[in-house]
Amino acid sequence: MKTLSDIDFKGKKALIRVDFNVPLDENFNVTDTTRIDAAKPTIDKILNDGGSVILMSHLGRPKGKEDKYSLKHIVAKTSEVLGKDVKFVNDCVGDEVEKAAADLKPGEVLLLENLRFYDEETAGDEAFAQKLSKLGDVYVNDAFGTAHRAHASTTIVAKFFPENKVFGALLAKEIESLDKVLKNSEKPVTAVLGGSKVSSKITVIENILDKVDHLIIGGGMTFTFVKALGGKIGDSICEDDKQELALEILKQAKAKNVQIHIPVDVVAADGFKNDANTQIVDVNEIPDGWQGLDAGPKSLENFKKVILESKTILWNGPLGVFEMESFAKGTIALGEFIAEATAKGAFSLVGGGDSVSAVKQFGLEPKMSYVSTGGGAMLEMLEGKTLPGIAAILE
């Protein structure tokens, strides 16, 4: 894997694809700098080597050139995070941009205008990628959030740097963390898969069955399994057409010696709302008119035992409807078990969507070994796919 440390950037211009798709308020102030912070180590390394940096990113989903999606809005914040002046150019390709890039001195940073002001970006247009490639000597991809897209700046541009393309520090860390879980993992390995539907996680389940010792299934997915096994799930969320599949997964797990853990009790509610009436019931005996919205106390005890004995933990998807306080306890408790296991030396990776928001919301992020920065990209990696943005650097 070619990373930043393989290149001395002294006197070189690094063209870096970052993911600065940050949230802005109505006055165009950046409300969360996580993504800019995440790119700082890569930028600092290059500048410290004596190189200069050209940053390219998308922001939102503009239709043509829309001022509200201009990256000019984030220049001040980026300067603040990097602790140095960031220059900005009103376009991302063309003569003016080429001149601004050529004029950069070692230690300087230039931010380009939103790549998606050109349809060629998402179309993966080769001529557009070639124009981008004129701006730097080395191509660095540090945008994990878009690594699953074969866009001009994330994938196609790499072919114009056959000898000079590397992963940025963030992207390298994402790949390493996933490898630690699925390739070079210390046993026992446990995956926790929650969320709403079996259908959206099926490829992930199939891919990880070969790699884990324990699989904890939680969230709305639970009920498709429980119903398939003959339980009474009341009004709980269920994908009837996935019951066969659920049984097939259980069969495969058995054949592969993977222990599956499903909630034995749930917090059932008489409505999908925070102030609904609730009761703890056996997962197989949910009364009609009631729906399971969180894992119950016995289930959590079971999960705790498994988690605390694990040396490697992957967590994707909440155990309940954590957006509502009344049904967040299971997800919080699970996060705390994983934090405890991590403190004892386990490696924990949280990734692929809603569990990341949950971990952040409940202040558990610092207690995990690694929290992934890319939802869709991480999910595709968990599915066993090779992401085009990653493949383009490896080729």
Detail the residues annotated as belonging to a binding site: 19-21, 35, 58-61, 116, 149, 201, 292, 323, 352-355
User: Of the residues 232, 376, 384, 385, which is catalytic?
Assistant: 376
Give the nearer residue to ligand AMP in terms of CB position, either 258 or 268: 268
Other beta carbons less than 10 A from residue 37's beta carbon: 12
Side by side, which strands form the sheet with 189-193? 259-261, 214-217, 189-193, 312-316, 347-350, 370-371
Residue nearest to ligand AMP (CB): 195
Annotation marks residue 329 as catalytic: no
Considering the complex, what minimum distance in angstroms separates the CB of residue 235 from ligand AMP? Answer: 10
Q: Rounded to whole angstroms, how far apart are CA atoms 201 and 367?
A: 25
Tokens of 290: 């009631």
Residue set of the binding site for (2R)-3-phosphoglycerate: 35, 116, 149
Considering the complex, what minimum distance in angstroms separates the CB of residue 286 from ligand AMP? Answer: 11
Annotation marks residue 384 as catalytic: no
For residue 133, give the amino acid letter: S
DSSP 157: G
Q: Rounded to whole angstroms, how far apart are CA atoms 132 and 134?
A: 5
Other beta carbons less than 10 A from residue 46's beta carbon: 26
Annotation marks residue 51 as catalytic: no
Give the nearer residue to ligand AMP in terms of CB position, either 66 or 383: 383
DSSP 242: G
Give the nearer residue to ligand AMP in terms of CB position, either 56 or 237: 237
Other beta carbons less than 10 A from residue 43's beta carbon: 26
Q: Rounded to whole angstroms, how far apart are CA atoms 352 and 215?
A: 16
Residue set of the binding site for ATP: 201, 292, 323, 352-355
Give the nearer residue to ligand AMP in terms of CB position, either 18 or 237: 237
279 — phi, psi (to 5°)? -150, 155
Considering the complex, what minimum distance in angstroms separates the CB of residue 358 from ligand AMP? Answer: 9
Residue set of the binding site for substrate: 19-21, 35, 58-61, 116, 149
As to burial, measured by CB atoms within 10 angstroms (0-12 exposed, 13-18 middle, 19+ buried), residue 66 is middle
Q: Rounded to whole angstroms, how far apart are CA atoms 204 and 304?
A: 23
Give the nearer residue to ligand AMP in terms of CB position, either 195 or 374: 195
| Alpha helices (H) along the chain | 34-49, 75-82, 95-102, 119-123, 126-133, 169-182, 202-208, 222-228, 243-255, 297-309, 329-343, 354-361, 375-382, 388-394
* Partners of 93 in the β-ladder: none
DSSP 30: B
Considering the complex, what minimum distance in angstroms separates the CB of residue 237 from ligand AMP? Answer: 4
User: Of the residues 2, 84, 159, 197, which is catalytic?
Assistant: 197
User: Of the residues 35, 45, 77, 131, which is catalytic?
Assistant: 35
Considering the complex, what minimum distance in angstroms separates the CB of residue 11 from ligand AMP? Answer: 46
Considering the complex, what minimum distance in angstroms separates the CB of residue 346 from ligand AMP? Answer: 22
Q: Which residues bind ligand AMP (CB under 6 A)?
A: 195-197, 200, 219-220, 237, 292-293, 317-318, 320-321, 323, 353-354
User: Of the residues 353, 374, 375, 389, which is catalytic?
Assistant: 353
From the list 245, 201, 207, the residue with the least C-alpha distance to 220 is: 201
Annotation marks residue 17 as catalytic: no
Give the nearer residue to ligand AMP in terms of CB position, either 71 or 319: 319
So which residues are the catalytic ones?
Answer: 35, 197, 353, 376
